[in-house]
Structure 1
Amino acid sequence: MLALAAGASILSLALSGCSSAGSGQPKADAADATLVAYTGQAGDYQINFNPFSPSQIAGPGTIFEPLFYLNKAAKDAKPEPLLGTESSWNEDGTALSVTLREGVTWSDGEPFTADDVAFTFNLLKKHPALNSLGFKGEVKVVDNTHITFNFKDSAFVSGPDILTQAVIVPEHLWAKLNPETDVIEKPVGTGAYTLADFNPQAFTLKANPSYWGGEPELKNIRYLALSGNTAGADAIAQGTIDWQTGPIPDIQNVSTNFPDYAKLTVAQSQQVLATCANVKLGCTGAQTDPAVRRAIYLALDRTQLNTLAYENTAAPISPSFALPDTQSQWISQKVQPAVAPETADPQAAAALLEEAGWKKGADGIFAKAGKKLSLTIEVVTGWTDYITAIQTITEQAKAAGIQIQAAQSSWNEWTDKRTKGEFELAIDSLWQGPAPDPYYVYNYFFSSESTAKVGKTSGNNYSRYANDSVDKAINALKTIPFEDSTARQQQYDVIQQQIVADMPYIPVLTGGTTSVWNTAKFTGWPTAEDTYAFPAVWSRLDAAQVFKALKPVQG
């Protein structure tokens, strides 16, 4: 109750100057309409608009733009021009040429040129911790509006990452910064929004009047830090926030319970129990034993989890991490079963542990070398669906002789632990890349090029996983065109057999990402018929497209 009261108090302060659109209440004034968003941030914001930092709070998409936008919610999406207008490969895939938009300026008035693009990609190469895309090309500036990315080998599959995932920063400011450690308090970008104000409880982005695409009709975006999902759901009930991506009670009946709101669910984020897996890089704990990781996988009753924690919005997950609905053709025939079991098998889990030298004690919990098989899962305070999931997993694991408990912390603390490898288990999700192909998940989360020793900030591979066979297969995939399915499948067979055996990320479910938004105050939201962007407020590049499409309802 105290948390809810605190959340309501923050809301009342943050919403001055904008009106709720609850039943019978006035609509937004289009001239200064403010959309109030909640991303799931639990605890105060710490100012950081560095788009390359794992603890950034906003910026990509809204302030800093990539060259193109690709809608990962659409099966056959094509890149939409942003800072780039055209792109083309040479015949053998070793040169990607990009034409840049003319007349673009940074929000401080300086002109945007090809030099800024070259600077950004060279910055990524210079700082491997930031280079989660694994970019290794050479960048050649042809003139102010033309640039070429050159590669030693064919690199067709790197195109979507280069074109749509790397946001561009201004050389005239960033040449003086340390991109690994500096937080950006006054961000300068080319995007449709700029920073208006900041405090630890909320910050506001305002429409950029000099945006190359024209000043957006949505003039202000207010991001709130609340106490967690419960406070967010309460704010939806009160009509005091306009967009939340996360759970609310009876989520299947949003429009009935809250007539001013609608919902949209898309299943793409693969929920995992991530492990600090690599002893050589400094990981410690029972989770460094692959047998323990596989035993937890077998101990999960996913049907029960989906019901108790996710209101049956989640979907099956494959231990191969190819999406079962849209990427099933890439699941290796050697991965059996192809989809994670729906029910628990505690006997099989126990057999794995016994084979690995663990022995069950009188209390029913396994132990080895005098140490109990006891693990802690890190979770963000207020993430009620994840907390409920951990409570359920705790009971399921206990039946297999594994002791699990939760450790709750603020989003900032949780992020710091996760990226520095200072955890045993962490509940989180692996996200999809810019094209419907599992290569991107492998390149982001399983490549040893995207990790670091415990204590240092990693790239996306925060599990610290390293496997030479997997690295070689990932690098081979970078040179194989999407159309050569036979050659690509040979590499997927290698990767999938290894990651299923090693299981550095324990598959839970494919999360149903559900957004709830205010249709009485704003029009232009994605729909099931027109999902023009992945509908998640925390998916920043996608959210930026939504913000630009929204129009306030006239009061």
Structure 2
Amino acid sequence: MCRIKFLILNILLLCLLISQINSQGLPDIPRHEVLIVDNHKGRIIDPYDFNYWKPGNIEEGGGLHQLLLDALWYLDPQTGKVINSLAESSPSYDKDYKKLTIKLRKGIYWSDGKPFTADDVVFTINYHIKNTGLTYSEFFIRNVSKAYKLDDYTVVVEFKNPMPSFHHIFSSLVYNTCYIMPKHKFEREKDPLKYKFYFPISLGPYILKSFDINGYWRLFERRQDWQRTSVGQIYGMPTPKYILFIYYGIDEKKIMAQSRHELDLIFDLTPEAWEVLRKSNKYSRVWYKDFPWAWMDDVRARAIGFNLEKYPYNIKDVRWALALAIDLTEVVISGFKGIFRINPLPICANNILINEYYLPLEKWLSDFKLEGDFAPWDSQISYKLEEYLKKIGYVYEGDIRNLFGIGWWKYAPDVAEKLLLKQGFRRDKNGKWLLPNGKPWVINIISPSFNEVQGMRLAFSVAEQWKKFGIDVNVETYDSLIYVVKISSGDFEVCSHWTIPSFDIYFAIQQYHSSYYKPSGKLAFSQNFIRWKNKKIDNIIEKMITIPPEDEKAKELIMEFIKIYVEEMPSIVFTTTFKFCAQDNYYWTNFPNSENPYMAPVWWWGLFKFMLPFINSTGRK
């Protein structure tokens, strides 16, 4: 209650500030014609730089990949559907998976009038191979023998080795997608690492109309020839004439903006912030109408990850000790108000994958033992949390495990202590843990800041658990750009991250192969920023890449990967990435929700562009 009162006070104090922000340089367009979207990634550092394909240009919240760029395929995790976007059909491999044929959609044009053809796709691959410093260069160099076109709408890619999952690099699920480059723009550039792709042309249904030179907003306008885009061909005209991506900052500012109907779509809020918003704006809505409110089926899970090159986190016993020193019920209740789907494994615990992977592994998890014959699996934690729900007046109808998950690790500080003592750690006279060399043990956790509120909360909640166990802990928060650079370069000891995969686990696992390993100081390839090297994992991956993802043998290998991950505990995985992605239904309506789940509610993904034809105007002006 105190927290809510504090938020309300802050909102009142910020009212004048927000009015000033919205009057300084925002475009003068009719409000009922513009959909206003939260740029959750923060202020854009270089507003003139639209070169998505160079390393470090990780701007993912300002509309670039949502509205201007396009991929061959998109996966909607809410429906399980694959959208054939720039590709007119599914990828077609030959029988030994050493050649891929891609049929492209006809009638698609860049916003400058040039047709989209096989030349653009082939160029994207070969340009990355030729210019080795681009984001996806290493992947293409490692796997592609040659890429060429059979005709203007047929692409062939030949591989050095069998590669049945190659198409994932061109498939959009959250981020890390190789969008297609305009050949006629980039082929003239001698140094693509310096090229800013300004003024950008679009392959999506919108074009850039204007932007704030200080990086706070970008305005996009629907293309007059929207029929010549994948969205237009598949679903029809996007409803809003304009879309404004804007950075407001902290929750209090977002709440005030949406309460004033100046922000239609919010990326995420804390539970307390949502409580304030729903009471202040009757038009605001999140996924569920009632508890647990949030959208629980995101395709990433949150974890506390270790830099496995840094002592003492390179020791398995230490990592397991830190896991067993955490009372998850306290984390869930004090840190997340009971809104939490427990996710102990390195694959998302959404409804589909629980049935496919979690339940078949349940017996193995129950039988799994650490050294000393201790069984760490706790199958009763969901029932403990059910008691909390009853105390707050909520009764869940059905199996409580469908809400909270099937289990996690036991709270066993006594076992954690034995593991640390075994490795030479000891406590001082005040009960504080010392390293084997006698120096105080201080854990430094880095976390994204308020733009990833659940990740930040996880960092602070875990820090409190380890402090209670007798370890000094510091938490440092960073804006997204700085945070991602730090974990990618290995400039951290422990981090709060959200890279645990879901439906793309087949592809994500491959990034742990030691051939992709980069030491701290060099940018790591996507998934393996924890610097994990394991010969057993290499063997699994080398078998996997010769087997198609849908093969039952691939699933068996993924199960083996999960078991090794549990045994080694390179990251402690906690929860699916749920979102209080608030929608204001005052000017616009028919956003996806639990009663109308036609698509995932993800305006920060590339998938967002396909939602836009379904949105309706309310007629208010």
After TM superposition, the score normalised by the length of structure 2 is 0.77
How many Å separate the matches in 2 of 1:119 and 1:308? 52
Partner of 1:270: 301
**Percent identity of paired positions between Structure 1 and Structure 2:** 20
Give the one of 278, 282, 286 matched to 1:259.
282
Structure 2 distance, partners of 1:311, 1:489, is: 35
Matched, 1:525 2:591: yes
What is the CA deviation profile of residues 175-229 of structure 1, one whole-angstrom value per residue up to 9, with x for unaligned ones?
3265556544432231112222222222222222233134632122222223323
Change (3 A) 1:15 1:340: farther
Provide the rounded CA distance (Å) in 1 between the counterparts of 2:125 and 2:279.
48
Stretch of structure 1 that moved more, 263-272 or 208-217: 208-217
Amino acid at match of 1:370: G
Could you say which structure has the larger radius of gyration?
Answer: 2
Matched, 1:104 2:86: no
Aligned-pair CA distance for 1:529: 4.4
The aligned residue for residue 553 of structure 1 is 618
**2:317 pairs with 1:296:** no
Partner residue, 2:412:
345
Residues in 1 aligned to 2:184 and 2:586: alpha-carbon distance in whole angstroms: 43
Choose from 82, 86, 89 the match for 1:86.
89
Q: Give CA-to-partner distance per residue, 1:375-401, whole Å, 9 cap, x none.
A: 222223335444443332222112323
Aligned to 1:60: 65
Q: Does structure 1 residue 170 correspond to structure 2 residue 238?
A: no
Matches within 5 A, 1:373-522: 373-383=441-451, 384-430=453-499, 432=501, 436=503, 438-444=505-511, 446-460=512-526, 461-485=528-552, 487-522=553-588
Bigger proportion of residues as strand:
1
Task: Give the partner amino acid of 1:502.
Answer: E
Aligned-residue offset at 1:112: 1.8
Q: Secondary structure at the match of 2:297?
A: strand
The DSSP-based 3-state class of the residue aligned with 2:323 is helix
Name the structure 1 match of 2:264.
242
What's 1:155 paired with? Answer: 163
Paired with 2:505 and 2:431, the residues of 1 have a C-alpha distance of 39
Give 2:220's aligned amino acid.
Answer: L
Q: Does 1:208 align with 2:232?
A: no
Counterpart contact for 2:259–2:277, Cα < 8 Å: no
Give the distance between the partners of 1:49 and 1:310, measured in 2 at CA.
36
**Unpaired segments of 5 or more residues in structure 2?**
1-9, 288-294, 369-376, 380-405
Shift of 1:318: 2.3
Alpha-carbon separation, structure 1, partners of 2:19 and 2:414: 47
Whether the 8 Å CA contact 2:350–2:576 is kept in 1: the answer is: no
- Report the alpha carbon displacement of residue 516 of structure 1 after superposing the two structures with TM: 0.8
Range 515-524 or range 246-255, more displaced: 246-255
C-alpha separation in 2, matches of 1:505 and 1:198: 39
Query: What is the CA–CA distance in structure 2 between the aligned matches of 1:343 and 1:17, rounded to whole Å?
Result: 57
2:391 match: none
Contact 1:129–1:457 (CA under 8 A) maintained in structure 2: no
Question: What's the offset of the Cα at 1:153?
Answer: 4.9
The offset of 1:512, in angstroms, is 1.5
**In structure 2, how many angstroms separate the alpha carbons of the residues matched to 1:400 and 1:294?**
14
CA contact (8 A) 1:521 1:552 kept: yes
Contact 2:255–2:273 under 8 Å retained in 1? no
1:316 deviates by 1.0
Contact 1:42 1:381 in 2 (8 A): no
What secondary structure is seen at the aligned counterpart in 1 of 2:255?
A: helix
Q: Give distance in 2, aligned partners of 1:172 and 1:122.
A: 14
Deviation of 1:518 after TM superposition, in Å, equals 1.7
The structure whose residues are more often helix, as a share, is 2
**Aligned twin of 2:210:** 197
Distance in 1, matches of 2:344 and 2:201, equals 41
Alignment CA distance shift 1:245-1:306 (3 Å)? farther
Aligned to 2:333: 307
Q: Deviations over 1:104-128 (max 9, x none)?
A: 2222332222111012123445548
Superposition CA RMSD, Å: 3.1
Change (3 A) 1:305 1:458: same
| CA–CA separation in structure 2 for the residues paired with 1:142 and 1:86 | 16
TM-score of the pair, normalised by structure 1: 0.85
Q: 1:43 to 1:551 in 2, by over 3 A?
A: same
How many residues align structurally? 532
1:262 Cα offset (Å): 1.6
Residue 254 of structure 1: how far off its partner (Å): 6.3
- CA distance in 2 between counterparts of 1:299 and 1:184 reads 49
